[in-house]
A = this chain, B = another copy of it.
Amino acid sequence: MFKAIVSADTLGDALDSVSVLVDECKIRLEEEGLTIRAVDPANVGMVDLTLDAAAFESYETDGGVIGVNLSRLEEFVGMADAGQLVQLELDEETRKLHVQIEGLEGTLALIDPDSIRQEPDLPDLDLPANVVVEGADIARAVKAADMVSDHIALGVDADEELFYVDAEGDTDDVHLELTREDLIDLTAGDARSLFSLDYLQDMNKAIPSDAEVTMELGEEFPVKLHFDIAEGEGSVTFMLAPRIQSD
């Protein structure tokens, strides 16, 4: 059993953070709220989403797992105007999801969860550096790097107490530094890893420009990006595997 009412904006933002990585996913319906974990087909980018029951206007379930086509569900939710509510209800018998928005009723076929890629475990990495930045700064770094390269290095200089971004192209380079003053918070520790820009661009699409994003970084380690959604009643963690640096 699953029946819930939620603002279309809240649900849409939550789904966006998953759909930037995968087309289909399992949604775990738990008493405390929804959770989604997914990894992209190349095993490079992962997402771990929770949307607490408190983020919903109403939320009832006795547990279960459903498989959804994310772009279909997002399209349905996108029919709502700003501020409108979406009602979701699972039809156990037909394995369909009923989506209701102000007189509009959609029925969405679910996907057999067993046919969907297994959910990843996002390992606890205990990384040495911890940086808290505004979402807008990540957007700026990604845009700048994109001018010159397909890769982006994220690092922390522990001595200088600064977070930096490097992108090196064949002829042109870009370098961005954010000092302790520019950052919301910094736990310095030497860190530098190279990442595929494509993935970070996709993740950036789901990060609100005014979000406080906590980045955990290490030396040639994955980066974790963590931010709240639904006014704190939900959260997203992205994890992105590093590229081997050729030099």
Contacts and interface: CB of A to CB of B under 8 A. Distances in A.
B79 A143 contact: yes
A140 B79 contact: yes
Contact of A172 (B72, B144, B173): B72
A72 B147 CA distance: 8
Interface string A72-108: 1001100100000000000000000000000111111
B182 A109 contact: no
A105 B143 CA distance: 13
B109 A144 contact: no
A65 interface: no
A178 B63 CA distance: 34
B176 A103 contact: yes
Interface string A121-148: 0000000000000000000100110011
* Chain A: number of interface residues, binned into ranges: 20 to 34
B174 A105 contact: yes
A191 to B, nearest CB: 19
Contact of A177 (B72, B103, B109, B174): B103
A173 to B, nearest CB: 4
28 contacts: A72-B147, A76-B147, A79-B140, A79-B143, A79-B144, A79-B147, A103-B176, A103-B177, A103-B178, A103-B182, A104-B140, A104-B174, A104-B175, A104-B176, A105-B174, A105-B175, A105-B176, A105-B177, A106-B144, A106-B147, A106-B148, A106-B172, A106-B175, A107-B172, A107-B173, A107-B175, A109-B171, A109-B172
